[in-house]
Structure 1
């Protein structure tokens, strides 16, 4: 549903889209024969500003596809509410420095031939209401499959990135009829095995709200007789169409996005074999230029083969610190520009940048302001935060207001700034310029998380609850620190966070510069060399696509 291609194309809301963009970039690097399909989302997701009281203000974030992509001479139609809805494909071509490329097809219904009610289907990412969401998923799944056939692509394997695309294998299934149980039967039976052999499904969320469900009355109204509802109940859920369940039943290879997440998904969906392919990030995209120059001295092939970063331990301390100071200076300049706040370059900066929603616990750091003040008075530091809340997530919006309230309360002791309109360009500055990357999800709700991987490429250690990718990556004190113990009570996480900052993290930064720089180099060599999208895509190719 979303792919973060570049900062000027706001067709993404957060980590799912950024991961998809890194997948595009790595497939081009590795010259994997893949084509990507998404919606054009002409009006983007949302442009965020912050009111004086800390409230999130939202507006559209439009872009012009003609500035970045080429319209193709093809069109297909899908039938929605009995009307033909025509879809135009735009081609965005991502090329990498090695000469590889990856095509991305952007689906657009904003056409004069369409009924005015249908032109806006692909305008806004994650449109409001179940009606519009189902229309978007019809365009993505059924329309996307038809577009690729119309353009002449011969697809061997279909990879469904989250349940939004689950109508695609349903469309494939219609082309594999078995016939009728008996001559008098009124419905056809279908052979699912050929479809399952060709479909791979990645589930990304343990959060129930992340699994789209639609009433069968709505499905019948939107899709008509596309697929017989009685049969659909057998493969997509008896009470309502569950897109995740549909994808699970029509895919022969299913995976979660971290070892811990696969275990969680296995409990959520017993009876299915859930593999684990841990997410990764595109190394040259998220590495600051100053660190990229250093990595050239480790290996000229570091961008194409990030495993070479294991040699980062041998980088000169002064060179690492100079590169970090440059990246940090750029982040502080961005803070000054966006918030008119001057932070101290000689104090550590803790960064928290996530989608603003309840289980991410953006407020955990502020659970006990007296404790937080005690830590900050002994070991001064600064906090930089960012993140958007979904327009319908009132709890997420409340978190943003609370962060601003806490910032005002702490103004005499601890500088806290919130940067508005978190997006790909700002993220690059934050992951490179942080001193410490903080992550505080409520276990086991973090499927994977990748922002800490990006920070690691710039030598920034991770301070996080043991969930998602960090549960398998954490080497205590060697590449960052855990908040609490694995499986420990979440109610204790705030106290454990304060204790770790007081006793370990901040004393090291303030009193042992050589030890801190040694840690930064280990972060690159132990984390940056492992958790990248080159490794992720090689695993998908070898284990899922060529099975």
Structure 2
């Protein structure tokens, strides 16, 4: 990569032109993620982790960061969701034509899986930022004729198959990705692991450092050389979310020598190979994805120093067209620096309400197209859309359905839009979807109208977060690492009604950016708080004072939209993870001004 590719990288929040070029001459950042939401027509993601990765890369491209990314191809996608009349979920594959979006690269590399040699190629997708800077995303592919039929399928399905399939995919992503980087001629200075799925890249780096030497010859110096290159972001406070593999399984898939190295270096926990411990052991910088998640992660892994960089979303991707037009007219430079969205306070309230009305009309037209149901644009509409996992408690709204109905009747109507997929192997998650749909059907024809929209994806998510009036989130504490759907809603002036967990602890200004569901001893207590806020604060304000409601929309954008975005987040990764102050000072580079609220 030529030096000229670094020239447009700067911190747009500062009045000075800041360049990291002197330090970055030694190499680029390589970003690894099992899933990346690259393009709405490419089913290479399942949900929050992949969407975050895609938004990160979009902002990195906007800012001109010298970075490349690696993921798997996922030829058959995640899955397309179908829901029958009773709310039973079924799934089908999402095949797509790779050549319509990506360019095949010439190099071939190999990895060893269960003593088999598996050959890999890479397909390149060029992501172009607003400045014209291009980030190359490489999608690794094992579907080659020299591989066995089984090995050809290893890059077909995102989160498909069993734990053997998962471990083999992680070898391809981590070890195959490092080898492909070298084959493509990239000089890398920082390796960023987005979750533990990519942790085995550290093993590839260690083996390169040792030159193939025996496991018992590893020195702490070898480990430290690898550590100085690696950054790790952990995303889950749920123990089951950390990939773990049995010892016998790991030996069989990885080989006894490789497993032995990892075991010797403390990467096993409770007699299992734990990918989070692999990443922790080999990273000089580790972070959680919200301030609270940083606290939880430090409690889970007390032997490691863990920082926090709160997630964000890519504003131009998630702000609806009416609001983009409004901001383009009234807020100079908001696309370059999202902090300027603070100036939403100065936009006339009537214009904000009008922009939202257009977004709501678009959403309800899509609901009608999908379901045949015509909803009322004047009626308060709540949105709840996320992965159908039990800890997210999609049915908390229905804890006392008669009370919810009474609130709807007193409000002159209440509409709730649901969406979300359950993993094909998650039977409790599927049962949760069925439960919500079953309860919703009981109130058909009443003042309470509930619609569950199938096949939640990028495009439906954008319509929902822009078009509903209030965004609802009800996770069981402390299992929400961050959450980003409420951030997308905030960029469109949609306030949240949410449990104080994840990002919402930082984003909740009661009555200004939304409302907090108070902690309770059990689900019933928290549902009671939800009903009270809905009945006594939200419904009354929405129905009786449009001007005051518009004011909340403005402060939601000004306070939360201006901060919870990847424009700010990527700058924090640069400053704290990729090129921290000490490194920048060593390179005699002037530091950028701090970005914050």
Verify same fold: TM over 0.5: yes
Structure 2 residue aligned with 1:262, among 289, 294, 300?
A: 294
What's the CA shift string for 1:214-251, capped at 9, x where partnerless? Answer: 11211221122551526525421150100001101111
Deviations 1:40-93 (A, max 9, x none): 001000100101211111111111110100001111010111111111100000
Cα offset, 1:500, TM superposition: 0.5
- Give the Cα–Cα distance (whole angstroms) in 1 for the partners of residues 416 and 175 of structure 2: 45
SS in 2 for 1:91: strand
Task: Say whether residues 1:433 and 2:467 are aligned partners.
Answer: yes
Any idea what the Cα deviations from partners look like across 1:22-41, whole Å, max 9, x if unmatched? 01100000000010100000
Instruction: Note if 1:99 corresponds to 2:128.
Output: no
Q: Name the structure 1 match of 2:284.
A: 252
Q: TM-score, normalised by structure 2?
A: 0.89
Classify 1:145/1:414 alpha carbon distance in 2 versus 1 (closer, same or farther; 3 Å): same
Distance in 1 (CA, whole Å) between partners of 2:310 and 2:409 is 39
Q: Runs ≥4 in structure 1, deviation > 4 angstroms?
A: 487-491
Q: Assess if the C-alpha contact under 8 Å between 2:392 and 2:474 holds in 1.
A: yes
2 CA distance for matches of 1:366 and 1:209? 27
Distance 1:281 1:467 in 2: 18
1:192 to 205, 209, 223: 223
1:540 matched to which residue of 2? 573
Matches within 5 A, 1:31-70: 31-70=64-103
The count of aligned residue pairs is 542
Whole-angstrom CA distance in 1 between matches of 2:259 and 2:402: 61
CA deviations over 1:228-282 (Å, ceiling 9, x no partner): 5265254211501000011011111000000000000111111111101000000
Asked if 2 retains the 8 angstrom alpha-carbon contact of 1:178 and 1:188, the reply is no
| Residues 428-464 of structure 1: CA deviation (Å, up to 9, x unaligned) | 1111101000000001000000001101111101110
- Aligned residue for 2:238? 207
Corresponding residue for residue 525 of structure 1 = 558
Partner SS state of residue 138, structure 2: strand
1:187, CA displacement in angstroms?
3.1
Where do 5+ consecutive residues of structure 1 fail to align?
none
CA distance in 2, matches of 1:314, 1:189: 61
1:483 is aligned to 2:517: yes
Instruction: Please give the alpha-carbon distance, in whole angstroms, between the structure 1 residues aligned to 2:259 and 2:407.
Output: 62
2:490 pairs with 1:456: yes
| In structure 1, distance between residues paired with 2:506 and 2:348 | 29
The answer to whether residue 47 in structure 2 is matched with residue 18 in structure 1 is no
Shift of residue 493, structure 1, vs aligned partner:
0.8
Alignment of 1:392-431 (within 5 A): 392-411=425-444, 412-431=446-465
- The 8 Å contact of residues 179 and 189 in structure 1, kept in 2 or not, is answered as no
> Normalised by the size of structure 1, how large is the TM-score?
0.97
What SS is found at the alignment partner of 2:188?
A: coil
1:499 to 520, 524, 532: 532
SS where residue 174 of structure 1 aligns?
Answer: helix
Partner residue, 1:328: 360
Report the Cα offset of residue 303 of structure 1: 1.3
Deviation at 1:300, TM superposition (A): 2.9
Q: CA RMSD in A?
A: 1.5
3-state SS of paired residue (1:3): coil
Query: 1:173 aligned to 2:202?
Result: no
Tell me the secondary structure at the aligned position of residue 492 of structure 1: helix
- Please give the alpha-carbon distance, in whole angstroms, between the structure 2 residues aligned to 1:296 and 1:401: 43
Change (3 A) 1:323 1:186: closer
In structure 2, the CA distance between the partners of 1:179 and 1:59, relative to structure 1 (3 Å rule), is closer
Q: Determine if contact 1:179/1:188 at 8 Å carries over to the other structure.
A: no
Q: Is the 8 A contact 1:366 1:372 kept in 2?
A: yes
Counterparts of 2:123 and 2:266, CA distance in 1: 33
> Once the two structures are superposed, what CA deviation does each residue of 1:458-491 show, in whole Å capped at 9, x if it has no partner?
1101110000000011100011110015x87655
Does 1:342 find its partner at 2:374? Answer: yes
Match for residue 502 of structure 2? 468
